[in-house]
Amino acid sequence: MKQDLKLVIIGGVAAGPKAAARARRLLPNAEITVIDRSRWISYAGCGMPFFLDGQIDSFEELFNTAYDVIRDEGYFLREKDITVLTSTEALEVDRVKKSVLIRDLAGGEERWIPYDKLVLATGASPIIPPFEGRDLKGVYGLNNPGDLLRLMETVEDVNEAVVVGAGFIGMEVAGALSNRNILTTIVELREQLLPGVLDEDLAGVLKTRLESQGIDFALGQKVLRFEGENGRVSRVVTDQAVLDAEMVVMAVGVRPNIDLALKAGLEIGNTGAIRVDEYMLTSDPEIYACGDCAENVNILSGRHTYVPLASSANRQGRVVGDNTAGRRSKYNGILGTALLQVKNWNVGRTGLGEQQAQDYGYETKTAITPAHDRSHYHPQHSLVILKVIAEAGSGRLLGVQGIGPGSLDKRIDVAATAISFGATLDNIVDLDLGYAPPFNTTIDPLQHTANTLRNKNSGLIPMISPREVWDKLQRGDDFILLDVRTQREHDSKPMNDERVLHVIMGELRERIDSISRDKEIVVFCDLGIRSYEALRALKGAGFTKVRSMEGGMRLWAYGPVGML
């Protein structure tokens, strides 16, 4: 690869700057130009909700390096010898002449700049449904720093807000607004929060916990219009409700910016994003695409998918930087690994969800287990709830999801690593993971959940989901709901139903003959550990119709008996 290569990169937020920086390290004499239509470049978009709720003190921190230097045009020129043209729009790509037509948005001048290699890192734009009233003052998006500054101008005066969309951005924005003591409601067209991220069971628990912290949800509702007074929004009208709102934040989702690629005749995939191969090459051998404008491949399914994430964008940018410099680096795809935080609850996922796996043709087995993220006696211990999805028969790990105020990130990252190498449940259990009371329990929660699924698969612990228990209660089924929690737990979080029989686990064996053998018994406790012990004791005593409620009360999210 010639050292005086002309590399032009269109897009200056995440993938583009990463590709430029990597190419510069490999090609010290290359002529590298980055073009972006905004005046904001190389910013931490994922940090914007944290500035909104005050966790980040300064707006400039979103643009700083780790050594406190602003990443602007001067920074890229001085430290990396990379020319960045901000407020400059790329209008057209001439693939024959290998040139890009650009326009200075301030002065209007147009000119062609040549390239040897071209990188499209044009990102994505927010989806703005054509709601009536979307142009009212007080209706915002949060797609770039300009949006953030506009939102910050009025947020101090807001008492009630509505967020439209319960995806990543919507949930983080809702958490930030709620942390400012703003009454916040999330409206979502789907019947659950974080659709496509969490399965319904974990999403239901998270909804219940966030409601207890002041966030309201209007799920399964379609926004019809925004209404206002004196030109400013005051209400959101859905097909089921009218919600007061002094501020509305639109977070419906994003779509890839592909206009330039379309005009240049590049292939667009079925997902609507730019089709690329394993080297991030487009259908033109001299043009690469990376970041939120490009397709991914799901590692487990082998299918093309569109999952715009900052982590993927940066990894793709590095691969593109390698390949523009003549290397042959591959980008092998994604598992959709993602983390977010709402209020004090963390959310994580990797691989396939239960329904996703089934849609791809896998027969699945699952287990959900609440656990402590470190030793229970350590003052910083907290709750995590993990769900493991595995392939029936082989036990191959297909996905892991988790929620909770405790430490989820390392469990999700271990799972992502394991899935990438084709690990089974047995492999997970055999991992030699680190332990010390400030960091972990003696058996890591991920391993604990894998063990639970192995026990389920072997028939050692027949289980029933909390949703199935709720349905049985609603139908009026005649069964025993055996509560083996302590008296204090029972009194503080009661399951208020006449079918509940409270027998403390420590007294179960001496009272076992007083329990009816004719009725089905569903055993429950707080985390699910004692109910497992109780089930085995009952089985040993000859009881045949016994199941344990999966996840115990920590997984309960139904009705007035769902105490938190």
Tell me: the pLDDT tens digits for 489-528?
999 989 889 999 999 999 999 999 999 999 999 999 999 9
- B/e letters for 496-512, b = 16+ CB within 10 Å, e = fewer, are eeebbbbbebeebeeeb
CB 53 within 8 A of CB 176: yes
pLDDT digits (tens, 9 = 90+) for 430-467: 999 999 999 999 999 999 999 999 999 999 999 999 99
Strand partners, 399: 351, 389
3-state per-residue secondary structure call for 343-377: CCEEEEEEECCHHHHHHCCCCEEEEEEEEECCCCC
Is it the case that residue 542 has pLDDT exceeding 90? yes
pLDDT given for residue 561 in this prediction: 47
Is it the case that residue 563 has pLDDT exceeding 90? no
Q: Which of 46, 290, 293, 525 is flagged as catalytic?
A: 46
pLDDT digits (tens, 9 = 90+) for 299-334: 999 999 999 999 999 999 999 999 999 999 999 999
**Domain 6-124+255-324 shares a fold with domain 139-252:** yes
Is it the case that residue 564 has pLDDT exceeding 50? no
Calculate the average pLDDT of the chain. Answer: 96
- How far is residue 165 from each of residues 171, 172, 395, 460, measured CA to CA in Å? 8, 11, 35, 41
pLDDT given for residue 1 in this prediction: 54
Q: Select the CATH number that applies to the domain covering 344-458 from these four: 3.30.390.30, 3.10.20.440, 3.40.190.10, 3.30.420.40.
A: 3.30.390.30
pLDDT given for residue 558 in this prediction: 85
Kindly give, in sequence order, each residue whose CB lies less than 8 Å from that of residue 431, ignoring residues fewer than 6 positions away: 414, 418, 444, 447
Q: Select the CATH number that applies to the domain covering 463-555 from these four: 3.40.250.10, 3.90.550.10, 3.30.450.80, 3.30.450.20.
A: 3.40.250.10
Q: Domain 139-252 carries which CATH code? A: 3.50.50.60
pLDDT given for residue 559 in this prediction: 74
Is it the case that residue 349 has pLDDT exceeding 60? yes
Q: Pick the residue with more confidence: 48 or 4?
A: 48
Residue by residue, DSSP assigns 24-75 as HHH-TT-EEEEE-SSS--S--GGGHHHHHTTSS--GGGGTB-TTS-B-SHHH
Burial of 412 (0-12, 13-18, 19+ CB in 10 A): buried
Is it the case that residue 2 has pLDDT exceeding 90? no
Active site residue 46: yes
Question: Model-level pTM?
Answer: 0.94
Q: Please report how the helices 73-80 and 15-26 are oriented relative to each other, as an axis angle in degrees rounded to 10.
A: 20
The residue ranges of every structural domain in the chain are: 6-124+255-324, 139-252, 344-458, 463-555
CA 500, chain centre distance (Å): 37
- The pLDDT of 383-387, averaged and rounded, is 98
pLDDT digits (tens, 9 = 90+) for 413-425: 999 999 999 999 9
